[in-house]
Structure 1
Amino acid sequence: MNQPLAYVHPQAKVARNVVIEPFATINNDVEIGSGTWIGSNVTIMEGARIGKNCRIFPGAVISAIPQDLKFEGEDSLTIIGDNTTIRECVTINRGTNDRGKTVIGENCLIMAASHIAHDCIVGDNAIIVNGVLLGGHVVVGKYAIIGGLAAVHQFIHVGDHAMISGGSLVRKDVPPFTKAGKEPLSYVGINSIGLRRRGFSSEKIKEIQDIYRILYQKNYNNTQALEIIEAEMEATPERDEITLFIRNSKRGIMKGYLGS
């Protein structure tokens, strides 16, 4: 670590084998786990808790105060899981009184110039592509992929294994295992390629397709579709994850694709 051109607050807790490049700034009340690399001109502010073997590229700002006029200086955290990569000029704001923390999971890839606002939760193995903007309180599920330059409205929930096309405006919740595209954002199928890569069997993928066919392609409203799904489809973790997601959606889920 011994880098004389970096500033490390004497109260910061930095593991012995962390590498900190010149002109990085590590403030008070920061913890950094072993094996992590901090690039030049990175700024890590109060409340950051960074895991092991992370890579944070030049220009990133981690744990700045929220861009929220209701914020009154309360103590809060930014938690970065192990093995996560944060690319150039990413900004991740710490939490507010709502959740008290912003959380990025393990094994995530947060690409250049993305912004993750206060109180967001990003699940393990998620990929946030270049220039994505997450408003406050957004939840992104594990293995989800959000395409470049997408803008996600505050309080949105993106389900596990979902994939959102680049440039999307995300105003409604995106259920798990789906692909989302078009404008307004719509269901355009399930993320079958991603599911195969994650080890889902052909039978399991067909089950998920059948569930979404009832939900999106049979002209039922959501209440009717959920009743049919639970009556006709075998109870499985995936079925229950989908139905619970829809029932718990506060902003409503994205609509079906109705053509051009």
Structure 2
Amino acid sequence: MSEPTQIHPAAVVEAGAQLGTGVRVGPFCYVGADVILGDGVELSSHVSVTGATTIGSGTRVLAQSALGGPPQDSKHQGGRTTLTIGSNCRIHEAVTMHAGSDTGRGATNVGDNGFFLAYSHVAHDCIVGDNVTLTNGATLGGHCEVGDNVIIGGLTAVHQFVRIGRRAFVGGCSAVVGDVIPYGMAVGNRAKLRGFNVVGLKRSGMTRSDLLTLREAYRVIFSSTGTVADNAELARIKFADTPAVQEILDFLTSRGKRHFVVPPLGEHDASSDDDRG
């Protein structure tokens, strides 16, 4: 038998809000009229959920978080835009996520099983995949795209419109102004590519043989003997039977001319990645 929905007497839930079964709304929370809370959602206390925001089942939101507010975009004209958060996310203290802008996608989308630590921020029009972790104070600018299973370290800022490929790792206190390839590890201000997210790849089941192939492809793609675009075409032929390499190449070539995070000058192999895990 499902648990009943519980709304604390000190909470405000506007008429029109849709609450699933087993929802718990704690003291001093505010839930706007256009909000949808899935089954089992918990708002602990002092949580504000506004705008056209949908939160998936089983997601837990802790104190002082503000979800669904208008975009921090001077071009936004006040039109109806949305924020959609997936199921089974953990959203810690003072996290902010904004709705899309009416001059952009009009929607901010966050996937399932996300882990958003205190003071992290998801800006307007972002697309965030499943199983993503934003550590304390990590910030996504507007229109960012973050793939599945990405980890972004504490106090890291990701510039607007940047893409981060799936299973990438971005170290803490980094400033990311270009796209990060899938499986990559980026660190620094400005961030540089430091090889692959070896620990994450091993945890995902990638074999040592596959990892060695990725490293070989990395050396080809970022070789100083040619441009990344030219090297990518060589790698596409040489590693035609390696799906992970093809995924990286598709990421590099699928969106026209873009700025990418690349290795430091003079470093064109993946030997600097952390292989201790």
Q: TM-score, normalised by structure 2?
A: 0.90
SS at match of 1:255: coil
The offset of 1:248, in angstroms, is: 2.8
Residue 111 of structure 2: aligned partner: 105
Give the percent of matched residue pairs that are identical in Structure 1 and Structure 2: 35
Q: What do residues 172-203 of structure 1 show as CA deviations (whole Å, max 9, x unaligned)?
A: 11000010113331111101110111122222
Residue 28 of structure 1: aligned partner: 33
Equivalent of 1:58 in 63, 84, 87? 63
Q: What do residues 214-259 of structure 1 show as CA deviations (whole Å, max 9, x unaligned)?
A: 1224543112211210121133331221111111355321121237
Is there any run of 5+ residues in structure 1 with no aligned partner, and where?
none
* Partners of 2:87 and 2:217 in 1: CA distance: 34
The offset of 1:132, in angstroms, is: 1.1
**What is the 5 A alignment of 1:1-260?**
1-97=6-102, 98-249=104-255, 250-258=257-265
Is there any run of 5+ residues in structure 2 with no aligned partner, and where?
1-5, 268-277
The offset of 1:169, in angstroms, is: 0.7
Give the conservation status (yes or no) of the 8 Å contact 1:156–1:251. Answer: no
Give the conservation status (yes or no) of the 8 Å contact 1:57–1:88. Answer: yes
SS at match of 2:7: coil
SS at match of 1:189: strand
SS at match of 1:251: coil
The offset of 1:41, in angstroms, is: 0.3
* Partners of 2:106 and 2:157 in 1: CA distance: 23
* Partners of 1:49 and 1:204 in 2: CA distance: 39
Q: What do residues 33-79 of structure 1 show as CA deviations (whole Å, max 9, x unaligned)?
A: 11111010000001110001001000000000001111111111101
Larger mean Cα displacement after TM superposition, 233-242 or 186-195: 233-242
Change (3 A) 1:220 1:259: closer
* Partners of 1:254 and 1:26 in 2: CA distance: 40
SS at match of 2:112: coil
* Partners of 1:157 and 1:184 in 2: CA distance: 15
Change (3 A) 1:7 1:119: same
SS at match of 1:256: coil
* Partners of 2:60 and 2:47 in 1: CA distance: 11
SS at match of 1:131: coil
Q: Any runs of at least 4 consecutive aligned residues in structure 1 with deviations exceeding 3 A, and if so which?
A: none
* Partners of 1:165 and 1:217 in 2: CA distance: 24
* Partners of 1:219 and 1:130 in 2: CA distance: 40
* Partners of 2:69 and 2:117 in 1: CA distance: 18
The offset of 1:9, in angstroms, is: 1.0
SS at match of 2:209: helix
* Partners of 1:251 and 1:226 in 2: CA distance: 14
Q: Tell me how large the CA RMSD over aligned residues is.
A: 1.5
Q: TM-score, normalised by structure 1?
A: 0.96
Q: Count matched residues.
A: 260
Give the aligned residue type for 2:23. V
The offset of 1:12, in angstroms, is: 0.3
Give the conservation status (yes or no) of the 8 Å contact 1:217–1:256. Answer: no
Give the conservation status (yes or no) of the 8 Å contact 1:62–1:92. Answer: yes
